[in-house]
Amino acid sequence: MWIVIAAALLTDQITKAIITSNLARGESWPDNGFFRATYARNSGTAFGLFQDQGFVLTIVSFIAVAMLIYFFRGGGIRSIVVRIAIGMMIGGAIGNLIDRVRLGFVVDFIDVGPWPIFNIADSSITVGIATLAILTVLFPEKLSPNFDRNAPEQEQTASSDLPSSEDAG
């Protein structure tokens, strides 16, 4: 998972550095088209919500990262897919948190048609959340902290050793 966190974080920060050093704010490359790189500053959250709430969003981001790390480290999750999803979410959250602390806003640049402009960190967070949502619906057992598809089935608990009502009569 640490490799996934590092990959998401580094890709996010490197792409943002490329954009900020090559484009002026509001400039796009190419000038027209469905897919463009457009340098934008976002002082809010996804989709431009909660603009100019930098302090609150920074605190919320710190809490979110701490909770994700706690969930991962304390959960004993063995599913590689869940670990990758959580790693993507942590890496993306740290990437945007770095921008908020360092710049006071988040650098966005992926401009796709009518969709709001976003960045690699946003993508990592979204893909991580979508993966966990799909797993929750289709494969809830993969979210169990003790899930291990290679492990033999758990033996019955000690309560099954108690005599049943048939034994008593």
Q: Which residue of the set 111, 122, 148, 161 is catalytic?
A: 122
Report the C-alpha gap between 34 and 161 in whole angstroms: 65
Under-70 pLDDT residues of the chain: 46-54, 74-76, 142, 144-169
Q: Around Cβ 98, how many Cβ atoms within 10 Å?
A: 17
Q: Which residue of the set 108, 111, 148, 161 is catalytic?
A: 108
For residue 60, the model assigns a pLDDT of 85
For residue 146, the model assigns a pLDDT of 55
- Give catalytic status of residue 52 as yes or no: no
- The DSSP annotation for the chain comes to -HHHHHHHHHHHHHHHHHHHHHS-TT-EESSSSSEEEEEEEESSSGGGTTTT-HHHHHHHHHHHHHHHHHHHHHHT---HHHHHHHHHHHHHHHHHHHHHHHHSSEEEEEEETTSPPB-HHHHHHHHHHHHHHHHHHH-GGGGSTT--TTSPPPPPPGGGGSPPHHHH-
Quote the mean pLDDT of the chain: 82
Helix axes 80-103, 2-22, angle to 10 degrees: 40
Listed residue (145, 100, 115, 92) closest to 35, CA to CA:
115
**What are phi and psi for residue 55, nearest 5 degrees?**
-65, -50
Structure tokens that stand for 80 in this block: 């590689």
For residue 47, the model assigns a pLDDT of 62
For residue 152, the model assigns a pLDDT of 47
C-alpha dist (Å) from residue 10 to 55, 86, 142: 24, 16, 28
